[in-house]
A and B are shown apart, each in its own frame.
Chain A
Amino acid sequence: METVNPIERVLRGVAITLVILFFMFPILWIVLMSFQTNETILRMPPSVVFTPTIENYQALITGKLETSAGILEIAFMKNLFNSFFLSTASVAIGLVLGVPAAYAFARLKFKGSEDIAFTLLSFRFAPPLLVLLPLTIYFQQLGLANTYGGLIWVYQLIVLPLILWIVRGYFEDIPADVEYAYRIAGHSWGATFRKIALPLAGPGIAAAALLAFIFAWNNFVFALVLASADKQPVTVGALAFVTASGIQYGQIAAGIVLSIAPTFALALYAQRYLVEGLSLGAVKG
């Protein structure tokens, strides 16, 4: 049946609304919380009626957290910067290393290539704590503990397998004939990689970079163990809101809103690329 009757249309609308409510409610609640004081948040019964306040945001930005026990210095903005820097740098390095590797795994079936690729993926299976303990000791001896460099290095455990496996799939989707055609036209394999493989895998690389960025941004354990306050990202920094005089829900909410904003914006922006997919109509006929 192609024609939709009115009852069906209404029911469909109700169903969609319910689903949206279910998934969006926590985010909405967090946003509402971030504009409330701890008292209004914790009152019983909870209510959506309140006088909005921006003092949570103020506290975060100025770095002065007012608690009943007095003023507490927090480094939230510094944490935010750390998150940003660590994630961006990790993804950038991950791309530089991962994309050519993905291409190699996709195109050159050399001995042991599958094993190597799988080993890289298996890094994602192991619980982070398994590697953290030895790493902490090594890092301290190497002077890498509590440095951006060290963290970015460890972040490759998260970023690299992801980029490698996603991008590899995209490279494999490019028909080999398209690349052969460019080679036969007289171009070296390097030029073929730059002019054909990279642009065609572009949407895939963007998707992988975005996912890797989000994973890096959300990482907690590595940074918790290997970084001290001035190198900590927001995920760890948020612990500061658990103060001796109670948990600062309002500020936590504001912190969450601020820290999801960049990834959220990025996801919205990149959605185009993710949906676009590969436009290989010319090849598939």
Chain B
Amino acid sequence: MTVQLSLKAVDKFYGPISKGVHAVKNINMDIHKGEIIALLGSSGCGKTSTLRMVAGFEDTSRGTITLAGREIHRLPPVKRNVAMAFEGYSLYPTVTVRENIAFALKAARLPEAEVAAKVTEVAEMLEITDILDRYPTSISGGQQQRASLARALVRDADLHLLDEPMGQLEPQLRTLLRGRIKHYIKERGLTAILVTHDQTEANAMADRIAVMEGGVLQQFASPEEIKEAPANLFTGTFVGEPPMNVFPATVTEAGGMIHLDLQGGLDLKYPVSEFSDPVRKAMVASRQIVLGVRPYAVHRSDQGAPAQVVANQWLGDQTHIAASFAGGAIVLVEHDFADVVLGQDIRVQLKPEDLHVFDAKTGQALSHGAELA
């Protein structure tokens, strides 16, 4: 795999260096050719600043950005060979959707037939063939967004940047279009960075997700890895819906058992042998930990700890159950209709292989269920 885009020690300051607002802190990332990357984080996490540095709309305060072997961080946007779909659409209002999409292709002096074929293809994929001859101001927000996406995807560039490209889409179209766009990008071997605050979108589209918070890259890994081995408490709770259940706990070791004392007087006991030596040592050393468990990994079982149902919500293909547990609440996901009612006492089991353990002070992950088994 060749590296297509590389960010080395990239910093962004708004205002003078090291005195201004430090929006992006020492980002290092290598993105391979043909990869789809999601920059994921809530607003103000630095993802948009990072994107704008790559696109060239913000200067890079420190560090280097290399694209397809060229250093680009000092080049103006037009010389970077980057295609971008803007969050605010930014369609040219005076020309039709078709001409908007074809604009860059015509500028690159492609033969007319080829331009027409490419436009038709991308328009079909995004279901905008019926509005190709309309003007941007006369179409809906969702259609404008798709037109903007088409204009970026139709180009043959070294890198495609998609800034919140699906926020306005009709919910019925969203899942389908995500699948199609992913297929389109993969089929052509394009390299793409998707900026989004929606972890569902990041998971659905990306080969690897870069989770950002406070200007810092928290974790850069595949969706599966982030799900199974979140690097810290932030990543663990930010990615995943329903969110990961978390419980503060105190660790003690006695009589060959590891005790996890949760709030509300709940004591979970696991044989020492369930944990590898370094993990056990780290846990006992931390003492104060945060226990995380994904909702789909919580099961109802007679051997489990007591909980009381506060909500049972059937959503058609899955059921979300919330129950009061250990002084807080625990959420379970089941894939069938669950016959529990409000107020019912149930027992829920947290298996050691499904537990994520974080240090309560630093938030760093100490262990993940997968390693325990």
Contact = CB atoms under 8 A, between A and B. Distances in A.
A29 B16 CA distance: 41
Contacts of A3: 15-17
A3 B16 CA distance: 5
A1 interface: yes
A2 interface: yes
Contacts of B87: none
Interface string A153-196: 00000000000000000000000000000000000000000000
Contacts of B17: 3
Nearest to A3: B16
A169 B216 CA distance: 44
B334 interface: no
Contacts of B13: 2
Interface residues of B, number: 7
Interface in B1-48: 13-17, 20
Nearest to A4: B16
Interface residues of A, number: 3
Nearest to A1: B59
Nearest to B17: A3
Contacts of B59: 1
Contacts of A2: 13-16, 20
Nearest to B15: A2
Contacts of B15: 2-3
B213 to A, nearest CB: 22
A3 B17 CA distance: 8
A1 B17 CA distance: 12
A92 to B, nearest CB: 47
Contacts of B20: 2
Interface in A1-15: 1-3
A190 to B, nearest CB: 40
A1 B14 CA distance: 9
Interface string A1-33: 111000000000000000000000000000000
Interface string A93-132: 0000000000000000000000000000000000000000
A154 B266 CA distance: 81
Contacts of A1: 59
Interface string B53-91: 000000100000000000000000000000000000000
A2 B16 CA distance: 7
A66 B14 CA distance: 64
A1 B13 CA distance: 11
Nearest to B16: A3
B57 to A, nearest CB: 13
A2 B59 CA distance: 9
B342 to A, nearest CB: 29
Nearest to B13: A2
Nearest to B21: A2
A9 to B, nearest CB: 12
Interface string B181-206: 00000000000000000000000000
A88 B59 CA distance: 55
Interface of B: 13-17, 20, 59
9 contacts: A1-B59, A2-B13, A2-B14, A2-B15, A2-B16, A2-B20, A3-B15, A3-B16, A3-B17
Nearest 6 CB-CB pairings of A with B: A3-B16, A2-B15, A2-B14, A2-B20, A1-B59, A3-B17
Given A1-B59, A3-B16, 6 more contacts: A2-B13, A2-B14, A2-B15, A2-B16, A3-B15, A3-B17
